[in-house]
Structure 1
Amino acid sequence: MTEPQRRDGERPILAQPPSGAAPPEPPPPITGPSSAMVIVAHPDDAEFLCGGTVAKWCAEGWEVRYVVVTNGDKGSHDPAMHPEKLAAIREEEQRQACRVLGVKECIFLGYPDGFTSDDHELREQIVRLLRRYRPEVVITWDGFRHSFNHRDHRIVGMAAADAIYPLVRDRLFYPRHEEEGLSAHQVNEVLLAGATDPDYEVDITDYWHVKVEAILCHQSQLGGRQREDFLRLREEQQRRDGTDRIYERFRRWSIRRPVPARTAART
């Protein structure tokens, strides 16, 4: 087993403590190489939200899988487009983006765009995948943020959060999984993308170009935007941040509650 190493370019963002209070002790940086699962609502969500982080982790030897909940079959203003054709286009665009980033596998759940529900069917599917692939880290949408955003983003974020805790950990949720050889699992770290109050950042400066190449795979969604447009966005973010570096930012949950030995994965 590879000894975990401190991860360059990843750090907590510390909030200022109240006057006179000691600063909070941050959790340690996420270490690797490791395994991660990115759970998002639509094809292209992951590239915009965390494509640089995924590229960085894959280059460092991580095993990263995507779970894309909907097929994105409504995301077009083209009067000649129909849902079945768009779904096929977007699935292929997502597969191309995964190849650019180095993602090991992309799993499509196939829900129609805009028709996800935060119900036991979706949660069970996510729990099943978490128990099958046993990622240590999950990136998903921040379903808790108080800002205007797509319904599917909110629902997928909430469903993933519920699946991560406590459903995947506690064996009596979906006991049929044990009959299939899928035992309880503990996700150690969760990074919530799109958060309004991020507290963890990943320096993606060296992987920004890979992120953009992956985004450019989603031509059906870009409305003619090209590489130069993303360069301008990068420069604007650098000016706002007052740095020549570029970051992806998340809200981080460190769970790290051990799974009882009797339900741990078989080795």
Structure 2
Amino acid sequence: MTDQLEPMPDDWQRALAIVAHPDDLEYGCASAVAVWTDAGRHVSYLLVTRGEAGIDTLEPAKAGPVREREQRASAAVAGVTDVEFLDHTDGVIEYGLRLREELAAAIRRHRPELVITLNYEDTWGGSYWNTPDHRAVGRAVMDAVGDAGNRWIFPDTEAEPWNGVRWIAVAGSDTPTHAVDVTDGLERGVRSLLEHRAYIEALTDEAPEAYARTLIEGFAQQQAERFGGRPAVTFRLFGR
């Protein structure tokens, strides 16, 4: 018997997704975001970098603007219009007080009930080494949620403390606990990833449309066995 995943909570209205790079949210999570925005929930994106080191054939000064445009178009497909960038240098994000303060300030400003981030463990599936940026940002998000609610930590941010985050959801975790039925969001999840066309074309010789569909539909179907046979995006959920 395969352990079944619990449905994600749905008694919330505002979420903030914080990740390192353009495309981090599109490798699966965007299908869930599309479902949430269809239900009238507000989701905002915060990108710590502009992904300028992500295209080997395009120098960072040119790649950054391209990837920002692709990210904004990608977010719009999933129903997200609120997209911010922090301008840390791609590939060399450092976990530390500066990053924690910036993320705490964003959480205080957006006042979400749900915060979403990406797998920050050392590996993907125990086999592939995770990037330093993913590890640094994910760990900083976990800590910044607590920082945001404490008026004595980073007291000089513009917004007032916010202790209203009820959950942190980690996408791409090797040990998920919850899932979202993405039957109605799967097609937009595919199209959301496809908006990162310049990135995909530099990454693979496969046709971008085939690449995006195979990945997004494949990921969702892999989890169906653990979620009542329904295509799913999974999260490891931490309550507060």
Q: TM-score range by the shorter chain?
A: 0.7 to 0.9
Which of 196, 210, 214 is the aligned partner of 2:174?
A: 196
Look up the match of 2:183.
Answer: 205
Look up the match of 2:31.
Answer: 52
Superimposed CA distance per residue, residues 134-191 of structure 1 (whole angstroms, 9 cap, x where no aligned partner): 00001102323554111101110000001012x11111001113xx352332310111
Which of 5, 8, 19 is the aligned partner of 1:13?
A: 5
Number of residues paired by the alignment?
A: 226
| Residues 62-77 of structure 1: pairs in structure 2 closer than 5 A | 62-77=41-56
**3-state SS of the aligned residue for 1:48?**
coil
Which of 221, 240, 254 is the aligned partner of 2:199?
A: 221
For the pair 1:155 / 2:105, whether they are aligned, the reply is no
Superimposed CA distance per residue, residues 216-237 of structure 1 (whole angstroms, 9 cap, x where no aligned partner): 1001221344333344442576
After TM superposition, which residue ranges in structure 1, 4 or more long, deviate above 2 angstroms?
144-147, 183-186, 223-245
The structure number with the bigger radius of gyration is 1
TM-score by length of 2: 0.86
Go from structure 1 to structure 2 and tell me whether the alpha carbon gap of 1:32 and 1:184 turns closer, same or farther (over 3 Å shift).
closer
Coordinate RMSD, CA, aligned: 2.1
Q: Report the AA paired with residue 171 of structure 1.
A: R
Cα pair 2:224 2:232 within 8 Å, conserved: no
Go from structure 1 to structure 2 and tell me whether the alpha carbon gap of 1:239 and 1:137 turns closer, same or farther (over 3 Å shift).
closer
Q: Report the AA paired with residue 61 of structure 1.
A: G
Tell me the distance in 2 between the aligned counterparts of 1:181 and 1:63.
Answer: 19
Tell me the distance in 1 between the aligned counterparts of 2:211 and 2:88.
Answer: 31
Q: How far 1:245 sits from its partner (Å)?
A: 2.8
For the pair 1:61 / 2:40, whether they are aligned, the reply is yes
* Larger relative contact order (Cα-Cα within 8 Å, sequence gap ≥ 6): 2
Look up the match of 1:173.
Answer: 153
**3-state SS of the aligned residue for 1:135?**
coil
Tell me the distance in 1 between the aligned counterparts of 2:135 and 2:219.
Answer: 27
**3-state SS of the aligned residue for 2:87?**
strand
Which of 238, 241, 258 is the aligned partner of 2:221?
A: 238
**3-state SS of the aligned residue for 1:206?**
coil
Gaps of at least 5 residues in structure 2 are none
Identity of aligned residues (%): 33
**3-state SS of the aligned residue for 2:236?**
strand
Tell me the distance in 2 between the aligned counterparts of 1:131 and 1:240.
Answer: 34
Look up the match of 1:134.
Answer: 111
Which of 120, 140, 147 is the aligned partner of 1:143?
A: 120
Q: How far 1:74 sits from its partner (Å)?
A: 1.0
Tell me the distance in 2 between the aligned counterparts of 1:51 and 1:143.
Answer: 18
Look up the match of 1:23.
Answer: none
Cα pair 1:70 1:111 within 8 Å, conserved: yes
Look up the match of 1:120.
Answer: 97
**3-state SS of the aligned residue for 1:96?**
helix
